[in-house]
């Protein structure tokens, strides 16, 4: 049995844009729903065996100005899933945190950005993310960052001082994405 917690959405702009209600709904979907679904299905998974696959993001590895609530919610997903995996070790239930970068889905439109906000060369196809995630699950891993570009982003975000990474992210996200905000 496999539980995949893949629901989630983002928000783009200076907090609390687009509005506080949107930010709070983001937390409900990205964090609360994931914890609740996992908590409700974990007893069944423990009986039958299986896995929980939680979709985080490369945003989980560094602060993300202009997407502050989203990035923080995905940091929660990453760390919570890794902790859950440690708690489940030896139980017959696996937990895997998947941290994709930009992926060709409707995510960016829902976050308030125009179609094509991310250049095709910077994003992965959803099928590629799925394939790498299932391979990681089969190998018993607890964390997968699909794609070499995403691995580089995660590595930099995890090793450089947080204030540097935050400034770099602010410049990269701000310059690139501000021109892509849907009107």
Residue 12 is a catalytic residue: no
Q: Catalytic pick from 70, 80, 107, 108?
A: 70
Counted residue by residue, the chain has a size of 183
Instruction: Please give the positions annotated as active site.
Output: 70
């Amino acid at each position: 049995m496999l539980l995949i917690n893949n629901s989630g959405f983002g928000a783009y702009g200076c907090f609390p844009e687009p509005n506080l209600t949107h930010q709070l709904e983001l937390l409900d979907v990205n964090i609360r729903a994931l914890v609740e679904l996992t908590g409700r299905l974990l007893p069944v998974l423990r009986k039958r065996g299986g896995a929980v696959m939680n979709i985080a993001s490369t945003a989980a590895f560094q602060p993300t100005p202009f997407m502050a609530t989203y990035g923080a919610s995905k940091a929660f997903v990453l760390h919570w899933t890794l902790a859950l995996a440690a708690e489940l070790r030896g139980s017959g239930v696996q937990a895997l945190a998947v941290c994709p970068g930009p992926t060709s889905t409707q995510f960016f439109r829902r976050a308030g950005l125009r179609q094509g906000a991310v250049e095709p060369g910077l994003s992965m196809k959803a099928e590629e993310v799925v394939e790498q995630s299932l391979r990681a699950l089969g190998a018993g891993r607890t964390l997968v960052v699909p794609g070499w570009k995403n691995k580089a982003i995660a590595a930099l975000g995890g090793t450089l001082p947080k204030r540097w990474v935050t400034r770099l992210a602010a410049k990269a996200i701000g310059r690139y994405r501000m021109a892509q905000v849907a009107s």
